[in-house]
Structure 1
Amino acid sequence: MCDDEIHQFEGTVRVAETSLSRRGFALSAAAAASLSASLAHAQATVVEKDVDIKTGDGTADAALFYPQGKGKWPAVLIWTDIGGLRPVFRDMGRRLAAQGYVVLVPNPFYRKGRAPSVTEGLDFSKPDDRPKFMALAGSVSAPGAVEKDAPIFIAFLDAQPQTDKKKGAGVQGYCMGGPLTYRTAAAQPGRIRGAGTFHGGGLVTKTDDSPHLLIPKMKAEVYSAVAANDDQRSPTDKDVLKKAFADAGKTASVEVYAGCNHGWCVKGSAVYDEAGAERAWAKLTDLYKRNLV
């Protein structure tokens, strides 16, 4: 994890929410009602299982979701933020499954321990806890880690009787999960047809293994939603991404969300923005509808 990623994650726990205008409150209330309805529907119509997946480095614990009843659906892999596998990401998996997908949300830090105990009690805003978070993140961001894990996770999804392997698969990631999403799309180009990143940290770096350098290897359509404060801190990153996609002849969209700060898509974060999160979710589901066919 680079310094920029540390700063980006700090935004999720330290930046206070601004006061809402009357119009903003109305939008937020409407988004909240929509979200509540979606989660209630998902709770009633989705099968949820805790699963263990053997990897070359141990056993990854994960949550698996799929619609009730007979049928087959496209597969989606969700990479969490630095907080790891926890209820808010289970809610995301459940909600997405209710829309017609077989969804896997792995504990990205399984090499260090099982969720939620691996992150239990840790607080990124406490200086003493940051090295512990960074050690966890380093276990999955290390060179080769995702390249080993992604094929195994996709193969696990494909082995489920509910998965329609004839359709493309999707991958999405938040915060540190952004680079993991790019690396997954590059490592599994034959399967990944839609990829979404939301306030992804470190998509563009100055190192030889920068995630944006993997774009030529991807075959997926990519949607990258950028936080306003991330864009302010690194204003050229979006242009680097757009150029890389254009140079590689890929279909992609890179969009800065004005007024939404790093972490806005994850409910419970200090900067969670309901209206912005719902807009991002709509973009994600449109991406999957176009490509996971």
Structure 2
Amino acid sequence: MCDDDIHVGLVEDPTLSRRGFGLLAVAAAAGVATSAHAAAVVETDVQVKTPDGLADAALFHPEGKGKWPAVLIWCDFLSLRPVFREMGRRLAAEGYVVLVPNFYYRTRKAPVFEGAFNFASPEDRAKIAPMRAQLDAAAVDRDAPAYIAFLDAQPQTDRKKKIGVQGYCMGGPLTFRTAALSPSRVGAAASFHSGALVTTEPSSPHLGIASSRAAYLVATADNDDKQRPAEKDQLKAAFAAAGRTATVEVYTGANHGWCVPGSPVYNQAAAEKAWAELLKLYKAHL
């Protein structure tokens, strides 16, 4: 992981504060992450056994009898918290079994940070840095298969269908890595306002594209593209070389963090467009 994984356009994440819950409610009223989804969805707090311990996570699936494709959600820098529960609930209402893990489980249960978080504050970032340092490539290589195995073990999961993986901010690189680690299971991978997907490191996320069998959606923030203008073309070239189906799009006017309801940079129109593209990807490839 690198500093590029940190929210560039998000100064404060109010989804962790009382004010943030109010903002999330406003977004819900607008039809973005409605509490009405809860009536059709079963939500359970679970623990996932990994090689390193027990990861606390939220599991969602539609009410009633049936089997549905599974999806793993990699959160952004602050991991599992109420706004990502809402996103998991909303996706489950569309007909998916959804797991949203706390990827900092080695250090602390979710939510890992109480109160408003200022990404511009070195003090606030320092509180998360030790937890984030533990989530290196080797840790992801142990965690991701465990999360997929957990999803496959759920009676609601249709194991005849491929699994989807989606990630936000630093969750984008983790999504790419998961698709490469489990090519036989992951059929679709989506990244939203991601951290750097193309680096000079041997563990660069884009290097795993050829090892995967997934179709991809890469929704890039406007200000991320300005910082890394060559990345979109490098990704397109990597997808083409590997023969992977992929959509790579810069969301003009939407800054890093735009998909997360309640954040100061939340862009409802762009978020809804990205959501529609996500559902299109899953319907076609899961």
Q: TM-score, normalising length from structure 2?
A: 0.91
Residue aligning to 1:21: none
Instruction: Check if 1:227 corresponds to 2:225.
Output: no
Instruction: Check if 1:2 corresponds to 2:2.
Output: yes
1:265, 1:145 → 2: CA distance?
A: 26
Distance change (3 Å), C-alpha of 1:31 and 1:44: closer
Instruction: Give the secondary-structure state (helix, strand or coil) at the position aligned to 2:123.
Output: coil
Query: Given the alignment, which residue of 175, 193, 206 partners 2:187?
Result: 193
Residue aligning to 1:127: 122
Q: How big is each residue's C-alpha offset from its partner over 1:227-249, in whole Å with a ceiling of 9 and x where there is no partner?
A: 00000111001111000000111
Counterpart AA for 2:187? R
Distance change (3 Å), C-alpha of 1:14 and 1:58: closer
State whether residues 61 and 106 of structure 1, in contact with CA within 8 Å, keep that contact through their aligned partners in structure 2: yes
State whether residues 14 and 270 of structure 1, in contact with CA within 8 Å, keep that contact through their aligned partners in structure 2: yes
State whether residues 52 and 62 of structure 1, in contact with CA within 8 Å, keep that contact through their aligned partners in structure 2: yes
Q: TM-score, normalising length from structure 1?
A: 0.89
Counterpart AA for 2:160? K
Query: Given the alignment, which residue of 72, 78, 81 partners 1:83?
Result: 78
| Structure 1 segment 108-187 matched on structure 2, within 5 A | 108-116=103-111, 118-121=112-115, 122-140=117-135, 142-187=136-181
Residue aligning to 2:20: none
Instruction: Check if 1:35 corresponds to 2:32.
Output: yes
State whether residues 41 and 98 of structure 1, in contact with CA within 8 Å, keep that contact through their aligned partners in structure 2: no
Query: Given the alignment, which residue of 266, 274, 281 partners 1:272?
Result: 266
Deviation for aligned residue 1:134: 2.5
Deviation for aligned residue 1:132: 2.4
2:183, 2:129 → 1: CA distance?
A: 29
Residue aligning to 2:21: none
1:129, 1:30 → 2: CA distance?
A: 26
1:146, 1:30 → 2: CA distance?
A: 32
Deviation for aligned residue 1:13: 1.7
1:33, 1:124 → 2: CA distance?
A: 27
The number of aligned residues is 273
Distance change (3 Å), C-alpha of 1:234 and 1:90: same
Instruction: Give the secondary-structure state (helix, strand or coil) at the position aligned to 1:152.
Output: helix
Instruction: Give the secondary-structure state (helix, strand or coil) at the position aligned to 1:170.
Output: strand
Distance change (3 Å), C-alpha of 1:88 and 1:208: same
1:92, 1:14 → 2: CA distance?
A: 19
State whether residues 172 and 194 of structure 2, in contact with CA within 8 Å, keep that contact through their aligned partners in structure 1: yes
Counterpart AA for 2:131? L
Instruction: Give the secondary-structure state (helix, strand or coil) at the position aligned to 2:9.
Output: helix
1:209, 1:197 → 2: CA distance?
A: 17
Counterpart AA for 2:99? L
Gaps of 5+ in 1: 16-28
| Root-mean-square deviation (Å) | 1.8
Distance change (3 Å), C-alpha of 1:102 and 1:14: closer
State whether residues 12 and 119 of structure 2, in contact with CA within 8 Å, keep that contact through their aligned partners in structure 1: no
Counterpart AA for 1:143? A
State whether residues 5 and 77 of structure 2, in contact with CA within 8 Å, keep that contact through their aligned partners in structure 1: no
Q: How big is each residue's C-alpha offset from its partner over 1:156-209, in whole Å with a ceiling of 9 and x where there is no partner?
A: 111111010001110000000000000000001100001100001011111111
How many percent of aligned residue pairs carry the same amino acid?
A: 60
Deviation for aligned residue 1:76: 0.3
Query: Given the alignment, which residue of 34, 39, 44 partners 2:39?
Result: 44
Counterpart AA for 1:245? F
2:74, 2:133 → 1: CA distance?
A: 14
Counterpart AA for 2:243? G
Counterpart AA for 1:90? R
Residue aligning to 2:275: 281
